[in-house]
Amino acid sequence: MTSLHERAQGVLYGQIIGDSLGSLVEFQGAEAIRAKYPEGVRELADGGHLQLTAGQPTDDSEMALALARSLVKEGSFCQDTVHEAYRRWARSHPFDIGNTCANALRNDDFNPDSQANGALMRISPLAVAYHRNPGMAARLALVDGHFTHIAALTDEANAFYVTALAEVVAGKDAKQAVQDNLRLYPHELDGSLPDVSRSIGWVDHAVRLVDWAVAADLGFEESLVKVVGLGGDSDTNAAIVGAFLGGAYGVNAIPQRWRTVVDNCQPAHDRPAEYNPCDVAQLAIRLADLLG
């Protein structure tokens, strides 16, 4: 049986590792990935089209870190603090930022038709901080999501994901947590792998990948390697799946070689210190203990 702190650490490590692993092959097709990585992408390394260092977060987890640090700073979710943290991030010259996030955070320009994954990719810290109150986690996920994404599908994805993950962090079986919250995502989930080569960045892909990974129960590493190998928006999909599986399996199920890379990450592109993931082990514990 894993402890609360182990599950919390699993969420943040899983988020960062999935993000970094997926960034090595982001937007590539499955065949191209298989040709270059016959055994799958299994090592955190420098490179990818963004030219990041091993273990470095992309925009996905830089925003998640911004949320996590804001929660710890305020002792709870403070709407103004979190919103400003995201705006500050958008002003920090990030090396990657999605169109929906950029337009909303820089210009207050919202696209009601965007069903992109840019809100779902960052909200895992809410599940850790509010694991004792999954309903509140879901409500706050909608507030957080509306800083950038306002479509109904993104609301449904955020509510489903953060509620189920909060229950997992609290100790519920992952399959049961997914099953218990299907009402929040009223779109049939059948445990199959989606075709991520179409509508790249669609939030529905990420939800279906979480559903598949929980149902398949292949373990943390094999599940993440499979998700990354599908291609498409591989960093974001793997960050979302990685956070969920990290909570489900606990930090000790995540290979030590991956955690060591994250702990010693020295990000490229002269990024501000708040987006460095090297303290996620301690940050996760502070999040888990935040609300007593």
Q: Give the tokens for residue 263.
A: 């702990």
Report whether 236 belongs to an annotated binding site.
yes
Determine whether the annotation assigns residue 180 to a binding site. Answer: no
Report the helix count and the strand count for the chain, using DSSP H and E: 14, 0
Could you give the CA distance from residue 81 to residue 72 in angstroms, rounded to a whole number? 11
**pLDDT values of the chain reduced to their tens digit, one per residue, 292 residues:** 899 999 999 999 999 999 999 999 999 999 999 999 999 999 999 999 999 999 999 999 999 999 999 999 999 999 999 999 999 999 999 999 999 999 999 999 999 999 999 999 999 999 999 999 999 999 999 999 999 999 999 999 999 999 999 999 999 999 999 999 999 999 999 999 999 999 999 999 999 999 999 999 999 999 999 999 999 999 999 999 999 999 999 999 999 999 999 999 999 999 999 999 999 999 999 999 999 7
58 annotated as a binding-site residue: yes
Find the CATH number of the domain harbouring 203.
1.10.4080.10
The C-alpha atoms of residue 56 and residue 173 are separated, in whole angstroms, by 30
260 annotated to a ligand binding site: no
pLDDT given at position 188: 94
CA-CA distance, 18 to 223, in Å (whole number)? 10
Q: Is 235 annotated as a binding residue?
A: yes
The answer to whether residues 242 and 153 touch, using CB atoms and an 8 Å cutoff, is no
Count of the separate structural domains present in the chain? 1
Q: Write down the pTM of the prediction.
A: 0.98
Q: For position 292, what pLDDT does the model report?
A: 79
Which pLDDT does position 63 carry in this prediction? Answer: 98
The residue range of the domain holding 217 is 4-289
User: CA 168, CA 7: separation in Å to the nearest integer?
Assistant: 8
What does the alpha-carbon distance between residue 263 and residue 17 come to, in Å, rounded to a whole number?
Answer: 11
Tokens of 236: 């974001």
Q: 2: annotated binding-site residue?
A: no
